[in-house]
């Protein structure tokens, strides 16, 4: 099950896992491009539970969860309303709480599971004007480590992938609003000298979801072209 699977990174993760032979269900606010996604808001537990009921009926219990739904935010700290703060925390952090808690019983019953949380490279350094987003994504990294310790004995691994500068609708929307400066400057500051592609993140997720990554858990695997080391 991939959240945020209708766009950008989540969409690429869903396509990659399908190509690897998994039966993939997506959850998103918007319909998925192939029409097979489930519409649900990750902040609404009853919507997650309803989507999961349909997913389990169609595909069986969930073995792999990739949390890619996310909401960015660019506001000076002093101007962030509590409602805006709460929404960013709700989507980026509480959404992971809901989906993980909802699918873990399937994984415990199977004695096998994989959770990959898409956090953000902004957690390595902090970013001005993104304090709500960075706080929520940093909490996702912490949640990842705690869940890894708690669920390792059940055959379940939990890891995070913090992406940096990936060419997606979210990033292009921020660029379009003039929030990212000149993208060429960022490329110049990236050791591998290009933007990331959603497929770069999907490759990391596919590996962490694989059988051979079974001894990797509680890790934060940066995929950022070397901008954050």
Residues of this chain that interact with ligand NAP (CB under 6 A) are 3-4, 6-10, 28-30, 41-43, 68-72, 91, 95, 118, 120-121, 163-166, 168-171
Cα–Cα distance measured from residue 172 to residue 223, given in angstroms and rounded to the nearest whole number: 18
Close Cβ partners of 200 (under 8 Å, ≥ 6 residues apart): 163, 166, 223
Q: Are strands 26-28 and 113-118 parallel, antiparallel or unpaired?
A: unpaired
SS3 73: coil
C-beta of 111: minimal distance to ligand NAP in Å?
A: 29
DSSP code for 195: -
Cα–Cα distance measured from residue 91 to residue 122, given in angstroms and rounded to the nearest whole number: 16
CA 21 vs CA 24, 92, 183, 191: distances in Å: 9, 28, 36, 33
For the beta sheet containing 113-118, the strands, ordered from the edge strand earlier in sequence to the opposite edge, are 38-39, 26-28, 2-3, 64-67, 113-118, 156-161
C-beta of 117: minimal distance to ligand NAP in Å?
A: 9
SS3 47: helix
Kindly list the catalytic residues.
133
Is 205:161 a contact under the CB 8 Å cutoff? yes
> In the beta sheet, which residues pair with residue 156?
113
Is 183:194 a contact under the CB 8 Å cutoff? no
The half-sphere exposure of 29 on its side-chain side, counting CA atoms within 13 A, is 10
């Amino acid at each position: 099950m991939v959240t945020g699977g209708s766009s950008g990174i989540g969409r690429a993760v869903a396509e990659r896992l399908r190509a690897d032979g998994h039966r993939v269900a997506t959850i998103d606010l918007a319909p998925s491009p192939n029409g097979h996604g489930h519409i649900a808001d990750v902040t609404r537990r009853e919507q997650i539970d309803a989507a999961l009921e349909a997913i389990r009926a169609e595909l069986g219990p969930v073995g792999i969860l990739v949390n890619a739904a996310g909401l960015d935010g660019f506001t000076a700290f002093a101007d962030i309303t509590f409602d805006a703060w709460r929404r960013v925390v709700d989507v980026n952090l509480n959404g992971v709480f809901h989906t993980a808690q909802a699918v873990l019983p399937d994984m415990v019953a199977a004695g096998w599971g994989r959770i990959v949380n898409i956090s953000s490279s902004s957690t390595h350094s902090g970013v001005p004007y993104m304090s709500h987003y960075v706080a929520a994504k940093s909490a996702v990294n912490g949640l990842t480590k705690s869940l890894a310790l708690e669920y390792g004995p059940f055959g379940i691994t939990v890891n995070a992938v913090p992406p940096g500068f990936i060419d997606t609708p979210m990033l292009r929307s921020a660029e379009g609003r003039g929030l990212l400066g000149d993208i060429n400057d960022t490329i110049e500051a990236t050791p591998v000298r290009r933007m990331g592609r959603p497929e770069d993140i999907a490759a990391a997720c596919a590996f962490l979801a694989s059988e051979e990554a079974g001894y990797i858990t509680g890790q934060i695997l940066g995929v950022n072209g070397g901008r954050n080391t």
